[in-house]
Amino acid sequence: MRPTQNVLVVEDDRPTHALFVALVRRCGFEASSAFDGPSALSHIREEKPDAIILDLILPTMNGFQILSEVRRFAPEMLSAVVVVTAAAESLYRECIELESVRAIMRKPFDVDQLEEILRRMLSQPAPLPRKMRAGGAMRLKIG
């Protein structure tokens, strides 16, 4: 049996961060946390997560700067990044680092779509349909 895959959640908004962590765990993955750019880069260098959920608007160092650094020291990791942001498209439309990321989603985002992206990226089987799960459906929405 292979070890549980790790998803780094880089988000400074605490409620949104908690939502991402819950989603990652619901998918059966481990979740690691970073609330700013420097801690995200440190984690990426040391732990090499299997996937990264990244907001672009962060304190200290923004998501664009994080992507630029990752491109410099581990360009292969860009394809493991899912950007989920409220930033205006005009801010990121021409960012070269975003050309290599797995997906870009705008907030508010579709939880099921993000779950599907993570599962496909990390090759996990889909869960039973919501009607068949014990405990009822998980309804989460931001915005």
Give the pLDDT confidence of 101-128 residue by residue, as tens digits: 898 898 998 999 999 999 999 985 555 4
Q: Indicate whether 133 belongs to any domain.
A: no
pLDDT of residue 96: 65
Determine, yes or no, domain membership for 107: yes
111 dihedral zone (left: phi>0; alpha: psi -120 to 50; beta): alpha
Give the CATH number, domain containing residue 78.
3.40.50.2300
Instruction: Using alpha carbons, select from 35, 100, 53 the residue that is nearest to residue 74.
Output: 100
25 vs 2: which has the higher pLDDT: 25
* DSSP H helices in 28-62: 37-47
Number of domains in the chain: 1
Helix crossing, 63-73 with 37-47: angle to 10°?
30
Structure tokens belonging to residue 18: 């908690």
Give the chain's end-to-end CA distance (angstroms, integer). Answer: 39
Please give the residue that has the higher pLDDT: either 60 or 96.
60
Single pTM value for the model: 0.82
Residue 94's pLDDT band (cuts 50, 70, 90): low
**pLDDT one-digit tens code per residue, 17-62:** 999 999 999 999 999 999 999 999 999 999 999 999 999 999 999 9
- Per-residue confidence (pLDDT) for residue 3, from 0 to 100: 63
User: 7 near 29, Cβ under 8 Å?
Assistant: yes
Helices 14-26 and 111-121 pack at an angle, to 10 degrees, of: 50
Residue 73, in any domain of the structure = yes
Instruction: Give the domain range for residue 65.
Output: 6-124
